[in-house]
A and B are shown apart, each in its own frame.
Chain A
Amino acid sequence: MKASRSPYTAEFLLEKLEDLYEVEFTFLKVEGLVDGLLPLDRDTQDFILGWATRLLSTNLYISHEFTIRVVEALDRLERRVIEAWAVHAADVFDRAGLRPALEVIQKVDAFLVNAHAHAEGVTFDEVEPVLSTFVCGLSGRRLKLAQGEQVYTDSETLFLPNISARLEKAKDNFLLCKAQVAFMWAQTRFGSFRVDFDVAFAQYPDREQALAAFHALDTVRLEACLERELPGLWRDMLRLEGLHGGECVEEGVCNTPLHSAWATCRGVLHTPSATVNDVLDLIPQVLGMEFPQPVYQPHLNPAAITACMLARMEREKILFRVKLAELMKEQGFDSAQPTEEEGFDSAQPAKEEVAPPEFEARETQEGQGFELVLDDKPIAPPEDVKQLMTSIMLDWGDIPPEFLVPAGDGEYDPALYSKEERDAEDVWKGIYHEEGAFLYGEWDYARQHYRKNWCVLREIEMTAGDPAYVDKVHEKYQGLVKHLRRTFEAMRDENRLLKRQAQGDDVDIDALVEALADSRDGSEMSDKLFQHMHRAERNLAVMFMVDMSGSTKGWINDAEREALVMLCEVLETLGDRYAIYGFSGIGRKRCEIYRIKRFDDRYNTDTKARIAGIMPKDYTRMGVAIRHLSQKLNAVEAKTRLLITLSDGKPEDYFDIYNTQYGIEDTRQALFEARRTGIHPFCITIDKRGKDYLPHMYGHANWVEIDDVKKLPLKVADIYRRLTT
C-alpha cells in the first residue's frame, strides 16, 4: 500500500511547509524540514504533515517545533506515542502557555535517551486510570498519580513520566509503571520517609553520596517487603529487571559485580522486622561503592518529601483534633456547655464537675492497626477519620498523645487544616478565581482530542420575573392548554385491569363462564382465564435546556417562555420528573447555567417567577451546557432520560472559534457523550437553517423545526410518545 503512492517531492514539501508556517510573515525556516521529510515514505510524510496541521490549530510555533523533532523521534518511537506526545504539548499549551508547551516538544531529546529503540511506549493517560485504582486498592494513605519529569513521590502524589518507553514491549512498559507505582506505595507504607533528612545526613561530608547509599539500601529493604506483600508483582519485577539488565551496558552498573558488603546488608534488610533505621545504620558500610539500580527504582526527592510531610503533619494534627471534637459531640459529650439534661436536673452549671472525656488509640486485638476509644468505649470512626488515622500512623508510627486532644472552639479555622491545593489543575483554577466553578473539557475536532478543563461553568439562580406572567400566559392560551392536557393525559400510563390473560392474580370470571360454556359445547376450552393488574410504571425524567443567547431577544424569547409555561402545565398532569435550565455565557471562561426549575423544585410561584425571568443574555456555547446538564440528568433515578434543547440557532460564542465548525463538532461530541450514558437528546429549533447542521449534531430523527411556538408542546408530546410506547 505504501509503495503504491510515491513520496512527495521536495518542491511540493517546500511549498506545503512554507504555506503552513506562513513563512512570508513569520520568517520561520523550513528548508531543513524538507530535507528531513524528503527521504520518508509517503505514509510517514502524511502522518507528519497531518499532525503538523493539527497542531497548527493550537499554535504555529509548537507545530513548527514538532516538525523539527518528529523525524528523529519517529526513528525510536511508535506513532501512537508520538501522537500522545503531540497531544500532551497541546494540552500544556492550553493550560500553561507557549513556553512550557515548547519545552514539552523540546524535551523529547532528553526523553529519547532513555527510551528503548523502537519502543512501544505507554502514555500516562493510558496507565493512569488503571494504576490509580490499583494503588487505591493497596492499603494505606490514598495516593494520587500525576505526570512529572521524573519518577518520584512526595509521599502523597506518585509522579510518572508522560511516556514510559524504557522497555521494548508495551506490556512490559505498563508493568514497569505498575512496579514503580507499587514501589512508591511501599515507600509510604513501610516508612521509608520516617527520617529527618536534614538531621540524618548532616554527619556525611558528601550528602548526595550518602543519600544515594540510603536509597539503594532502602530499595533492598522494600524489595523484600514487596516480595512478601505482593509476590506476583515481585516475580514480574524480577523479569523486568532481567529484560532491562541485558541492555544496560552503557550504565556500567548491572554488569559490575557488587561488593560483598551488599550481601551482608541484604541479610539484615530482608528480615521482616527491618525498618528505615536499619537502613540508616548500614549507610557507612556501603558508602562510595557501586550499588544496584534496578529499573523500577524511582528517584528519591528528599526536598519534596520533607515539604509535603511537614505540611501534612501539621494539617492532619489539627484536622484530627477537630474530627475528635465532632465525634465527641456526636457521642453526646458537649465540650462547650452542659448538656440539656444536666441543665434540667440542676440549675447550677455542671461544667466543672464533668471531667472531659478522654480519647485513646488502642491496638486492636487482631493486631491490625488501631481503634479509637472514647472513655473506654471503642467507637467506630467514619471512613474519613479512619483514613486520617492511617495517614497519621504512616507518618508517626503511632498516634501521638497530643493528637488525641479534641480541638477547642478557637481551633476550628478551616484555614489551619484544609489542604492548600497545589497541583497544576488547581493552580489553573486559582489563577482565574475559578473556585466553585465546574470545569469541562471541550472537543477540538482539528486536534481530534479534548482540550482539558477548557470551559469554566457556573450555575446561577435565575432572577425572578413578574410572578403574574405565567397566569397571563395561561389565560391567553386557555383553550390550547386544555387541549394539550388531553393529549398528555392520554399518554398517562395508568393501572389497568387486563382481562383474559393466560396468567394473572385472579380468575377472570367472565372468561371462565364462557370457557365452561364452550367446553360443554364440545369446543376447545381457552386457557386465557385470568385477569392481571397492569401497573403503571412511567419512569421518565426530562431536562429542558433553554437557549438564552442574545439572539433570542424579542419574539423568540417570548415564544420560549410561553412554550415553557404550557409545557409545565401539561407535564404536571403526567407526574414525570422534569427540570428546566437556561444557558448562555461569553467565552469559555464565563459559561453560565441558569437554574429555573430543578428536578426537586415544585411548579409553584417561585418557579413561575423564574420562568417569567428568562431573558436574552449572551452567547451559546452548547457543548459545555450539554455536558453539565447531562450530569445533572444522570443523577436522577429514571429508566428513560430525555435532554430537550430549545434553541434558535447554532452554537456560537463571542469572537471565538466556537462560531466555526469547531462549535458544531464540540456540540456533536457532547451529545455523543450524553448518548453513551443512556440519555436521549432532542432539539427543537426555531432556526430555519437548522437542517444544515442539526442532523449532524443530533442525528436525523432527533430534531424538529417549528415555525410556531404553540406547536412546541405537541412536539414534546410526540417525542414522549416515541420513547415511551
Chain B
Amino acid sequence: MASATDQNNARIHDPSSYIIENQPYYVPVGDEITLFEAAYASYLPVLLKGPTGCGKTRFMEYMAWKLQRPMITVSCHDDLTTSDLVGRYLVKGGETVWVDGPLTRAVRSGGICYLDEIVEARKDTMVVIHPLADDRRIMPIEKLGQLLEAPESFCLAISYNPGYQSVLKELKQSTRQRFVAIEFDYPKAELERQIVMHETGLDAATTDKLLKLAEMTRNLKGNGLEEGASTRLLVHAGKLISKGVEPRPACQGAIALALTDDGDMISAINELIGALF
C-alpha cells in the first residue's frame, strides 16, 4: 500500500518503532476483534488459525494500528534457529557486537511480535517462546545473561494453517495450549464481495463471477485440490482484470496456476473459468 509519492524508492522504517499510520482495510468476519482486544488486555498470547490468504496478516496489521503498537513479523521456516529469533553476536572491526533478534526487539519495545506459519519452524526453536507465552512473560537471553521481562504492551501472536499440515508438522500441545485461539475462514460471500470490490475496484458483476469461481474451486478441496482459492487469489485476479487483462487469462494466471501444478486439475479449473467468463 505504498503511496504515489514513494515512486521507486522503498520507504525505510524501523519495525520496532514504526506504527502503521493509515487504518488498514479490514472487514471483521466475526468477533475476532473483541476477542483479540480482550486477550491483549489480559496479557494472553494469541493463535490465529485458518487457511492461507483468508486475512490473518491483514487482521494483525489492523490490530497493530488499532492498538497503536509497532509490529514485527517473522515468517518461520525450517532453518530458523533460536538465535535468529533472540539475537546473536556479530564481529565488527575486530570486536564482537550483540545484535537483538526480532523477538527480542519486539519485547524490548513493547510491540507486537507476529510469528507467521509457526509450524514451519523446528520444534526446538519454538520452545524459546514458551516462557514468553505463559504468565511469566519473560524472555531469557542466555548469551547475554539477561532476563527480559515483557512490558504490558507486548503481545505475542502466532499463525497456523491446520489444513495442509502433515502429522509431522502439527503444533505441539505444550505450545498450542498456551494461546487463545481465534479461528479464521474465508469470509462469507457478502463480506468477501465487499472485500474484493474494495481491494480491486471491480464492478459487482465481475466480482460475483470471481466469487462463484472461488466457490467452485472450494468444492474441489479434497477432490484433488489441497485448498480452494483464497480471498487473496480473488484479489489478485481482480487486480489483473481491473488493469485491463481479459478475465480468462487473469483467472488462469492468478487462480488456476496458483492453486496446483497438476495438469488435469489445471485444465479442469480452466474449464470452470471458461464456463463462467
Contacts and interface: CB of A to CB of B under 8 A. Distances in A.
A and B form one complex: yes
B220 A507 contact: no
B88 A133 contact: no
B219 A507 contact: no
A133 B224 contact: yes
B96 A233 contact: no
Contact of A137 (B81, B168, B188, B268): B268
B28 interface: no
Nearest to B78: A537
Given A137-B269, A139-B216, A182-B275, 18 more contacts: A129-B268, A130-B268, A133-B268, A136-B220, A136-B223, A137-B219, A137-B272, A138-B216, A178-B275, A232-B273, A232-B274, A232-B275, A236-B274, A366-B188, A505-B83, A506-B89, A515-B94, A525-B94
Interface string A118-136: 0000000000011101101
A507 B248 CA distance: 55
Contacts of A366: 188-190
A497 to B, nearest CB: 13
B264 interface: yes
B215 interface: yes
Contacts of B90: 507
Contacts of B167: 637
23 contacts: A130-B267, A133-B220, A133-B268, A134-B275, A136-B223, A138-B216, A139-B215, A139-B216, A178-B271, A232-B248, A232-B274, A232-B276, A232-B277, A233-B274, A368-B189, A383-B222, A505-B82, A505-B83, A506-B88, A507-B91, A515-B94, A529-B91, A637-B168
Contacts of B273: 232
Interface string A494-532: 000000000001110000100110010000010001000
Interface string B250-277: 0000000000000011011101111111
A708 to B, nearest CB: 38
Contacts of B215: 139
Contacts of A519: 94
Contact of B94 (A136, A137, A139, A516): A516
A230 interface: yes
Interface in B56-99: 81-83, 88-91, 94, 96
A129 B88 CA distance: 53
Contacts of A505: 81-83, 88
B221 to A, nearest CB: 9
B52 interface: no
* Among A130, A138, A139, A637: residue with most chain B CB under 10 A: A130
A134 B264 contact: no
B34 interface: no
Contacts of B166: 637
A131 B271 contact: yes
Interface in A628-669: 637
Q: How large is the interface on A (under 10, 10 to 19, 20 to 34, 35 or more residues)?
A: 20 to 34
Interface of A: 129-131, 133-134, 136-139, 178, 182, 230-233, 236, 366, 368, 383, 505-507, 512, 515-516, 519, 525, 529, 533, 535, 637
Contacts of B168: 637
Contacts of A129: 264, 268
A646 to B, nearest CB: 29
B217 interface: yes
A383 B218 CA distance: 12
Interface of B: 81-83, 88-91, 94, 96, 122, 143, 166-168, 188-190, 215-217, 219-220, 222-224, 248, 264-265, 267-269, 271-277
B223 A133 contact: yes
A134 B271 contact: yes
B271 A230 contact: no
* Among A129, A232, A512: residue with most chain B CB under 10 A: A232
A169 to B, nearest CB: 16
A130 B274 CA distance: 13
Contacts, number: 82
A500 to B, nearest CB: 13
A139 to B, nearest CB: 7
B144 to A, nearest CB: 13
Nearest to A505: B83
* Among A130, A137, A139, A637: residue with most chain B CB under 10 A: A137
Contacts of B267: 130
A223 B224 CA distance: 29
Nearest to B247: A232
A566 to B, nearest CB: 29
A136 B264 contact: no
Contacts of A230: 275-276
A366 B273 CA distance: 25
B96 A512 contact: yes
B219 to A, nearest CB: 5
B89 A507 contact: yes
* Among B81, B220, B222, B272: residue with most chain A CB under 10 A: B272
Nearest to B248: A232
Given A178-B271, A233-B275, A507-B96, A133 B188 contact: no
Given A139-B219, A512-B96, A134 B88 contact: no
A561 to B, nearest CB: 32
A136 B91 CA distance: 59
A172 to B, nearest CB: 13
Nearest to B124: A535
Contacts of A130: 264, 267-268, 271
Nearest to B143: A506
A129 B217 CA distance: 16
A182 B272 CA distance: 10
Contacts of A236: 274
A380 to B, nearest CB: 11
Contacts of B94: 515-516, 519, 525
Contacts of A133: 220, 223-224, 264-265, 268-269
A716 to B, nearest CB: 25
Contacts of A134: 268, 271-272, 275
B120 to A, nearest CB: 14
Contacts of B275: 134, 178, 182, 230, 232-233
A693 B114 CA distance: 59
A368 B272 CA distance: 21
Nearest to B96: A507
B3 to A, nearest CB: 36
Contacts of B88: 505-506
Nearest to A535: B122
Contacts of B223: 133, 136
B155 to A, nearest CB: 27
Given A133-B224, A138-B216, A506-B89, A231 B276 contact: yes
Nearest to A364: B188
A698 B72 CA distance: 53
Nearest to B274: A232
A556 to B, nearest CB: 38
A525 B93 CA distance: 10
A540 to B, nearest CB: 14
B219 A138 contact: yes
A535 to B, nearest CB: 8
Nearest to B221: A383
A535 B121 CA distance: 13
A136 B223 CA distance: 8
Contacts of A516: 94
Contacts of B269: 133, 137
A230 B166 CA distance: 36
B249 to A, nearest CB: 13
B175 to A, nearest CB: 19
A134 B90 CA distance: 56
Contacts of B219: 136-139
A516 B166 CA distance: 48
A506 B143 CA distance: 9
B83 A506 contact: yes
Contacts of B189: 366, 368
B270 to A, nearest CB: 9
B220 A137 contact: yes
